[in-house]
């Protein structure tokens, strides 16, 4: 007994002595800020600087001496990138790093469903966590300014309000796993040509009304723990160390307390990187460990050059400590959080999520004579035509390229769904890019086909002529000058002669369905000749099942376009005004000045201002049922300074099957002292309705929704006067309007 008491006393003493000497930073009962200060006080200057830059292609140093882990980053916004070698882009050749590819973010945006965005972020965050990643390099929210931008597929469309609402749940979902979202590319990275040298010239009003809102929402509503600077310049400073974007706006006006990460190779200057808000430098030039230094990463701008400036007394350590504090705060949110979940990889739940996101994002653009949905019980012969019916799309496109557990092609999805019901015949139709390897990831597909275009079309027409239904699956792909990073498309047209194939098929069979797989709008000169059109997006691992479910009506399509589909390129502001891709400065620098002279008139804002009829308008998407809107009403006729007006509209499913409708709210300023768009999206709600069911859909409007940004006063202004709330099924399908006024002289009651 005495021994027991003695040993208990020893343990107690031990605990006491442990508690007494436990460093503050290990004491979880203490506030994080105290723990950060304790660590900071223990770090040498060299240890602090080492935390500011990469130590390998995708990781940065921790502090081994204090047990502070390295940070591991990973691409990308649609899935977790396969492992690469320590200091190379090449694959590491692991066998356990396959992932689920979720649909591209344009598809997520097209769902117009914040619940889906939360499902997306939670799922991809679980995959990142399981793979031991601490910073997910995504989502991207750059605004869609030209349909030629190679990276639009990674972003959330042309409207700042839609992107602002959809990005927040994605971030919260990712970060619920103890993984930081790294929202990119901040800011004004709106095309890929000259992406490292383009100097964006934008007025403040346009910046604040169009290009910043999604990033502001990411920070202030989403609580993003990191932001990635973009490659381009703004006000002649690289965005990765830009005083205006990082110090004044992000960290100043928005109070961002997280970490600014450079894009890979986006850092160009040590003094600017020190002073202008960059916290972690990745991907700057390094030829690995072969340049005679113990570690080439010590050559980074925020590495030895920074240490040298400190050592020479040319800079202090105030900025250094601020950067390290932010990095340590990120550590306590991720690597030092002992309670964060463990994640999961390639789970049935993630596969189901990928399928559901795809099903909710697919947009039914056209459907005549009820050609869709296909009835599996009644269709006999179905002919599937096109390279995109079989080509793997989870590979390629740049840094978002993935190595997937599997990818179910549209053809296989259709074959699986119609198995035992219909005779599904596949013909190539056209040959696009038969390559099957990207950055070391090999698809294993042999898409080589030496037949001529004429032979391919003849075969397709032959098979189509006696089919009950013909499904052409084409569009773009992830090759250079298609939907791909570091290059832009060279025109709005479909590549590889697809228009000829579609026209020939339309002549051969009136029951032609075209599925466009792309991350961008494309020209569709044959749109009037085909019975139905689906916008398919890049749908990831479950592409085939998502498409088959919509084609056969297992799922009623509910997607809406997050960008305008122009009839021709000249209908787009930047092309009409000759602003793309900008003008080389010609002063011996490589700078290309890109003027955003179209200002706030981007997308539908431009089309409506200039009375241009798009091929398919922003917010457009059909259903297999129909929705009837009742009369829109407001609960009061005058909105006061701190008040709100509630707009309500009854929406009824008047069709024979269940379906979801995205009810959209636009606001028009009837009379303003400044030029304003005819209307702007300021609310949306996706409602699921059974046949004959009615939902009273309501929106709360505050002065914020009525305001424009006044550059002179650097503030948001809501002018007194008349406004109109417009509700509808798309920007061009307005089903109800109701007026109200704003009176700032009346204090709210
Ligand atoms: C790329 C991309 C960025 C990506 C990073 C790491 O150049 O611009 O989106 O996360 O480098 O691959």
DSSP secondary structure, 548-606, as one string: HHHHTTSS------SS-B-SSGGGSHHHHTT-SS-EE--SSS--EEEE-TTTT--THHH
pLDDT for position 23: 85
Closest ligand 1 atom to residue 264 Cα is: 11
Residue 451: both structure tokens together: 């037949």
User: How far away, in angstroms, is 446 Cα from ligand 1 center?
Assistant: 29
Which segment of 2-16, 226-240, 630-644 scores lowest on mean pLDDT?
A: 2-16
Beta-carbon-side half-sphere exposure of residue 698 (alpha carbons within 13 Å): 10
- Ligand 1 neighbourhood includes 184 CB (under 6 angstroms): yes
Asked if the model's pLDDT at residue 440 lies above 50, the reply is yes
Q: Is the CB of 399 under 6 A from ligand 1?
A: yes
CA distance linking residue 563 with residue 614, whole number of Å: 11
Contact between residue 623 and residue 687 where contact means Cβ atoms under 8 Å apart: no
For residue 234, which phi and psi values (nearest 5 degrees)? -140, 130
CB 144 less than 6 A from any atom of ligand 1: no
pLDDT-wise least confident of 116-130, 267-281, 434-448, 469-483? 434-448
The H or E element spanning position 47 is: helix 45-50
Q: How far apart are CA 713 and CA 709, in angstroms?
A: 9
For CA atoms 367, 368, 370, 373, give the dihedral sign.
negative
Q: What are phi and psi of 41, to 5 degrees?
A: -70, -20
Atom of ligand 1 nearest to the CA of 140: 9
For 99-143, give the secondary structure using H, E and C.
ECCCCCHHHHHHHCCHHHHHHHHHHHHHHHHHCCCCEECCCECCC
CA distance 506 to 490: 26
Atom of ligand 1 nearest to the CA of 58: 6
Mean pLDDT confidence for 22-31: 90
97, 134, 159, 263: the active-site residue: 263
CA of 340 to the centre of ligand 1 (A): 26
Round the average pLDDT of the chain to a whole number and report it. 95
Rounded to the nearest whole angstrom, what is the distance from the C-alpha of residue 622 to the centroid of ligand 1? 35
- The CA distance from 729 to 735, in Å, is 7
CA of 656 to the centre of ligand 1 (A): 47
pLDDT digits (tens, 9 = 90+) for 185-233: 999 999 999 999 999 999 999 999 999 999 999 999 999 999 999 999 9
Q: What is the pLDDT of residues 368-417, one digit of tens each?
A: 999 999 999 999 999 999 999 999 999 999 999 999 999 999 999 999 99
pLDDT of 11 strictly over 50: no
Written as six digits, the tokens of 449 are 């086909």
Asked if residue 78 has its Cβ within 6 Å of ligand 1, the reply is no
- Considering only residues 193 and 21, tell me which one the structure prediction assigns the higher pLDDT: 193
Please give the radius of gyration of the chain, using alpha carbons only, rounded to the nearest integer: 27
- Give the per-residue pLDDT at 670: 97
**pLDDT at position 88:** 82
Lowest mean pLDDT among 9-23, 99-113, 510-524: 9-23
Parallel/antiparallel/unpaired status of strands 733-743 and 638-640:
parallel
- Tell me the CB-side half-sphere exposure of residue 383, using CA atoms within 13 A: 25
DSSP classification of residue 78:
T
Q: 276-329 pLDDT, tens per residue?
A: 999 999 998 655 554 445 678 988 999 999 999 999 999 999 999 999 999 999
- Nearest alpha carbon to residue 24 among 35, 16, 37, 33: 35
322 noted as active-site residue: no
Per-residue pLDDT for 17 more than 50? no
**75 in ligand 1 pocket by Cβ < 6 Å?**
yes
The residue whose CB lies within 8 Å of the most ligand 1 atoms, and thus the one to mutate among 192, 264, 267, 487, is 264
> In testing the pocket of ligand 1, which one of 186, 399, 402 has its CB within 8 Å of the most ligand atoms?
399
Residue 35 CB–ligand 1 contact under 6 Å: no
407 lines ligand 1 (CB under 6 A): no
* 436 band by pLDDT with thresholds 50, 70 and 90: confident
CA distance 669 to 672: 6
Output the CA 685–ligand 1 centroid distance in Å: 33
Q: Say what the pLDDT of residue 290 is.
A: 44
Distances (CA, A) of 561 to 508, 549, 598: 30, 19, 22
* Cα distance between residue 251 and residue 254, in whole Å: 6
Residue length of the chain: 749
Query: 24: pLDDT confidence band, cut at 50, 70 and 90?
Result: confident
What crossing angle do the helices spanning 160-175 and 114-130 adopt, rounded to 10°? Answer: 40
Nearest atom of ligand 1 to the alpha carbon of 138: 10
Asked, as a colleague might, if the bond just before 113 is cis with ω within 30 of 0, I would say no
Pairing verdict, β 512-517 and 469-475:
parallel
Residue 330 is given by DSSP the state H
- Three-state SS for 7? helix
Q: Is the pLDDT of residue 361 over 60?
A: yes
Ligand 1 and 137: CB distance under 6 A: yes
Which residue from 183, 184, 198, 263 has its CB within 8 A of the most atoms of ligand 1, so it is best to mutate?
A: 263
CA separation for the pair 541, 327 (Å, rounded): 34
Cis bond before residue 523 (omega within 30° of 0): no
pLDDT band at 748 (very low <50, low <70, confident <90, very high): very low
Question: Is the confidence at residue 516, as pLDDT, over 60?
Answer: yes
pLDDT classification of 123: cutoffs 50, 70, 90: very high
C-beta of 401 in contact with ligand 1 (< 6 A) = no
C-alpha span between 606 and 612 (Å, rounded) = 8
pLDDT band at 2 (very low <50, low <70, confident <90, very high): low
- Over residues 60-111, the pLDDT tens digits come to 999 999 999 999 999 999 999 999 988 888 899 999 999 999 999 999 999 9
Residue 666, ligand 1, Cβ within 6 A: no
Count other C-beta atoms under 10 Å from residue 54's C-beta.
26
Percent of the chain residues topping a pLDDT of 90: 91
Residue of 682, 644, 590 whose CA lies nearest to 164: 682
Q: Which of 179-183, 297-301, 347-351, 538-542 has the lowest mean pLDDT?
A: 297-301
Q: Give distance in angstroms: CA of 398 to centre of ligand 1.
A: 8
Q: What pLDDT does 745 receive?
A: 80
Q: Which two tokens stand for residue 505?
A: 């098929």
* Minimal-distance CA residue to ligand 1 atom 6: 264
Q: In this predicted model, what pLDDT tens digit does every residue of 558-614 receive, in sequence order?
A: 999 999 999 999 999 999 999 999 999 999 999 999 999 999 999 999 999 999 999
Q: What is the pLDDT of residues 443-479, one digit of tens each?
A: 999 999 999 999 999 999 999 999 999 999 999 999 9
Strand, helix or coil for residue 620: coil
Any ligand 1 atom below 6 A from CB of 264: yes
Q: What is the pLDDT of residue 14?
A: 43
What single-letter DSSP state applies at residue 389?
G
User: In what helix (H) or strand (E) does residue 667 lie, and over which residues does it extend?
Assistant: strand 659-669
The alpha-helical segments, DSSP class H, found in 405-511 are 410-418, 453-464, 498-508
Q: Whose CA is nearest to atom 11 of ligand 1?
A: 264
User: Beta strand pairing status for 708-710 and 694-701?
Assistant: unpaired
Angle at 319 between CA 282 and CA 591, to 5 degrees: 50
């Amino acid at each position: 007994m005495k021994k027991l008491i003695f040993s208990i006393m020893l343990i107690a003493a031990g605990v006491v002595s442990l508690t007494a000497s436990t460093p503050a930073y290990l004491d979880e009962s203490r506030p994080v800020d105290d723990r950060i200060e304790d660590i900071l006080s223990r770090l040498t200057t060299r240890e602090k600087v080492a935390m500011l830059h990469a130590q390998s292609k995708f990781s940065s140093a921790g502090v081994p001496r204090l047990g502070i882990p390295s940070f591991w980053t990973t691409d990308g916004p649609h899935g977790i990138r396969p492992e690469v070698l320590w200091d190379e882009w090449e694959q590491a050749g692991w066998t356990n790093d396959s992932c689920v590819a979720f649909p591209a973010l344009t598809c997520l945006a097209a769902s117009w469903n914040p619940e889906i965005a939360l499902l997306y972020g939670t799922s991809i965050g679980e995959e990142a966590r399981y793979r031991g990643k601490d910073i997910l390099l995504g989502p991207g929210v750059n605004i869609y300014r030209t349909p030629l931008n190679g990276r639009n597929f990674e972003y959330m469309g042309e409207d700042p309000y839609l992107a602002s609402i959809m990005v927040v749940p994605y971030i919260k979902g990712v970060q619920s796993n103890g993984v930081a979202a790294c929202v990119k590319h901040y800011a004004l990275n709106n095309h890929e040509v000259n992406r490292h040298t383009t100097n964006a010239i934008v007025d403040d009003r346009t910046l604040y009304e169009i290009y910043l809102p999604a990033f502001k929402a990411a920070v202030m509503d989403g609580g993003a723990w990191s932001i990635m600077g973009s490659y381009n310049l703004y006000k002649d400073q690289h965005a990765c160390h830009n005083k205006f974007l990082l110090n004044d706006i992000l960290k100043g006006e928005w109070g961002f307390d997280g970490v600014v990460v450079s894009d890979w190779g986006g850092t160009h200057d040590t003094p600017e990187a020190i002073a202008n808000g960059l916290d972690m430098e990745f991907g700057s030039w390094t030829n690995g460990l072969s340049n005679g230094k113990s570690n080439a990463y010590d050559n980074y701008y925020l590495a030895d050059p920074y240490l040298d400036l400190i050592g020479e007394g040319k800079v202090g350590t105030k900025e250094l400590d601020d950067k390290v504090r932010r990095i340590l705060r990120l550590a306590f949110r991720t690597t030092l959080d002992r309670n964060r979940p463990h994640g999961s990889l390639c789970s049935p739940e993630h596969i189901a999520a990928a399928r559901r996101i795809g099903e909710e994002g697919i947009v039914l653009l056209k459907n005549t004579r009820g050609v869709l949905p296909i009835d599996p019980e009644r269709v006999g012969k179905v002919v599937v035509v096109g390279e995109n019916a079989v080509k793997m799309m989870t590979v390629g496109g740049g840094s978002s390229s993935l190595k997937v557990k599997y990818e179910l092609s549209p053809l296989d999805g259709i074959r699986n769904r119609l198995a035992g019901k219909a005779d599904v015949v596949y013909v190539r139709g056209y040959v696009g890019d038969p390559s099957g390897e990207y950055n070391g990831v090999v698809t294993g597909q042999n898409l080589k086909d030496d037949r001529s275009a004429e032979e391919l079309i003849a075969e397709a027409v032959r098979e189509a002529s006696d089919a009950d239904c013909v499904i052409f699956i084409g569009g773009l792909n992830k090759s250079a000058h298609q939907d791909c990073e570091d290059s832009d498309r060279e025109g709005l047209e479909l590549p590889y002669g697809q228009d000829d194939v579609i026209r020939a098929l339309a002549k051969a069979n009136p029951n032609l369905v075209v599925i466009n797989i792309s991350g961008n709008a494309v020209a569709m000169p044959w749109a009037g000749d085909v019975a139905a059109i689906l916008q398919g997006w890049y749908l990831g691992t479950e592409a085939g099942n998502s498409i088959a479910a919509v084609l056969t009506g297992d799922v009623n399509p509910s997607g809406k376009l997050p960008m305008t589909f122009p009839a021709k390129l000249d209908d787009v502001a930047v092309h009409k005004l000759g602003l793309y891709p900008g003008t080389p400065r010609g002063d011996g620098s490589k700078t290309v000045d890109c003027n955003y002279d179209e200002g706030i008139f981007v997308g539908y804002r431009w089309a409506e201002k200039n009375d241009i009829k798009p091929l398919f308008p922003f917010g457009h998407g059909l259903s297999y049922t129909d929705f009837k809107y009742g009369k829109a009403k407001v609960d009061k006729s005058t909105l006061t300074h701190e008040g709100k007006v509630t707009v309500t509209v009854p929406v009824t499913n008047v069709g024979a099957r269940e379906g979801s409708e995205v009810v959209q709210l636009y606001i028009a300023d009837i009379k303003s002292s400044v030029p304003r768009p005819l209307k702007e999206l300021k609310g949306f709600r996706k409602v699921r309705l059974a046949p004959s069911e009615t939902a009273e859909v309501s929106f709360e409007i505050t002065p914020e929704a009525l305001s424009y940004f006044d550059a002179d006063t650097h503030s948001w202004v809501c002018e007194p006067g008349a406004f109109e709330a417009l509700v509808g099924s798309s920007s061009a399908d307005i089903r109800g309007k109701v007026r109200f006024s704003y009176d700032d002289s009346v204090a709210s009651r």
